[in-house]
Homo-oligomer: A and B are copies of this chain.
């Protein structure tokens, strides 16, 4: 059983017990859908995993399809909240840019890209996205779309401060994310969860290359030198 840490806002006048059942169903359904995909998941399996009778599921969510969309919306809401919470920790200070960006990248990957919800969304968008264009269109806009422009705006701040020299902010944001993922894709692709060391190392590699590509005039000479020392 997975336990949610954040207390969720009840949808209405539902009691505590009912709400607990709903949450348990949503969580178990998310895991089973993620493991087996939509057609591979059976209501019975979800019911067992949620410690709930099958009929209860049909009481809350009229049919399998309804349950699925409810699960996706639930996960998307949570992932979105987490994403913006992390985005608000984007480094703003001028000193230790590389370290601060690295720490930010670690937070981002750990809490948004490589956690349970991130894995679920990546997998489900890939496997069921074409069957539910409307549902995942909103994901596309609220998830990667928003993260791109939001991160772009944050990079714009750094650029205007002269810390980086960026011409296309949104492109830089996409490339930043891509670089961070470069070392993690292999691990994450088969369902594995990267260790803290791997996250740290991936973030460091990404940020170093990113800064080298977009170095501002002041900090240009500094990060080049240690890189030269490692040349084989």
Counted per complex, copies of this chain come to 2
- Within 8 Å of chain B (Cβ to Cβ): is A181? yes
Whether A167 lies near B127 (C-beta < 8 A) is no
- Within 8 Å of chain B (Cβ to Cβ): is A74? no
Interface size class of A (residues with CB under 8 A): 35 or more
Interface residue ranges of A177-201 to B (CB < 8 Å):
177-179, 181-183, 185-186, 189-191
- Within 8 Å of chain B (Cβ to Cβ): is A17? no
- Within 8 Å of chain B (Cβ to Cβ): is A65? no
Whether B37 lies near A190 (C-beta < 8 A) is no
Interface residue ranges of A131-145 to B (CB < 8 Å):
133, 136, 140, 144-145
- Least Cβ–Cβ distance between A10 and chain B, in angstroms: 33
The 8 A-B residue pairs whose C-beta atoms are closest, nearest first, are: A178-B182, A213-B213, A39-B40, A127-B127, A167-B230, A212-B213, A178-B178, A174-B182
